[in-house]
Amino acid sequence: MAKIGSSSLTDERGVIDRGAVVKLCQEVVALREAGHKVVVVTSGAVSAGVAVLGLATRPTDLPTLQALSAAGQSRLMQVYNDILGHYGVVGAQVLFESRSFVDRRQYLHARQTLGRLLELGCVPVVNENDATSPDELRYGDNDRIAALVSHLVAADVLVLLTDTPGLYSADPRTDAAARLIEEVAADDPVLVDAAGRGSARGSGGMASKLAAARIASFSGVQAVIAKADRPGVLADAVNGVLGVGTIFRAHDRRLPARKLWIAFATGATGTVVVDDGARRALVERGTSLLPAGVRSVEGAFDEGDAVDVAGLEGDVFARGMVAIDATTLRGVAGRRTAELPPDVRHEAIHRDDLVVLPR
């Protein structure tokens, strides 16, 4: 799988850089000729919309961004279709929302569709469904969607193409001693702690790519962050050539898609603090979180939102989708099941919706 960001395939005005797409497609075709199946995840729809509508700068309000995405997506796909078609390859547009990975039926349909496209010899060209997805457009989750799609298609390698050579030990723009990190182990804390800033034309950044690398790692997929304009970057990434960029090794613990989404691909809207007994039950026995184990509730969240679960010392050790909204949960925190009002769920977070975070 190859994911390319806006800053790597558009110019300073947001116009699609045809040469960048040609390079990418040539390398995709070469991989196919070598016997590999390839899925491309592409950004650039909003930037293309900015350019085609003649706007001087990229807006920040959500309705305009969604409108720009609708205007730019068809033009972006037209470029891919033209170039892939030149090499006798059929491109197939697939638009995702990150919540597509939460609903089991949607997940299975998506997997079936992508699998069949690959069997038919197509190159699926995936993008966020920016025009109708408010959350993803604000948080720049195309990197995360690429990682979730890599899980969905059981990819061997996810290549995150960007405008930097990979992950550095420090910001190379301000630190002359910064060095490229060529390899990151699956349990390296850099996948939790590192962060970075995005470019002006993209909505992601190094932090988003690290989150994607972590999702891929816990899918059993090796991830690579590499510079998009590096010659032969895809082949080198697939072959595991050291120095191609930063290689993130796959973890031996593999999470299912729904729990990957809960753990890594969505932001927490609040925190539920639990006592030591509840913590042990969640971590050691994999139980559901009951209101009796809740000590305090932070933030405002609704039923179905993702929240962090923290111990009494404030350390976050799990994440889950709550079955009870914040106001109600505050009112029943510490109560035993028999003491709950009849209209309140017995589980604050069901075990199927809770993930103990990997360390």
Is residue 217 within 8 A of residue 186, CB to CB? The reply is yes
* Confidence (pLDDT) at 194: 41
181 and 318 share one domain? no
281 and 253 share one domain? no
Task: Print the domain residue range for 85.
Answer: 2-259
* Confidence (pLDDT) at 261: 77
220 and 285 share one domain? no
Distance of alpha carbon 354 from its chain centroid, rounded?
18
* Confidence (pLDDT) at 171: 84
247 and 273 share one domain? no
116 and 133 share one domain? yes
231 and 100 share one domain? yes
275-318: pLDDT as tens digits: 999 999 999 999 999 999 999 999 999 998 999 999 999 999 99
* Confidence (pLDDT) at 251: 86
238 and 283 share one domain? no
Q: What pTM value is reported for the model?
A: 0.82
Q: Cα separations (Å) of 135 from 19, 186, 317, 352?
A: 31, 28, 24, 23
* Confidence (pLDDT) at 243: 93
* Confidence (pLDDT) at 202: 40
* Confidence (pLDDT) at 356: 92
Which residues in the chain land under pLDDT 70? 98-99, 133-141, 191-204, 265, 359
178 and 205 share one domain? yes
Query: What DSSP character marks residue 10?
Result: B
Strand-by-strand arrangement of the 245-248 sheet: 91-96, 123-128, 40-42, 2-4, 157-162, 222-227, 245-248, 183-184
249 and 273 share one domain? no
* Confidence (pLDDT) at 137: 41
Which CATH number goes with the domain that contains 328?
2.30.130.10
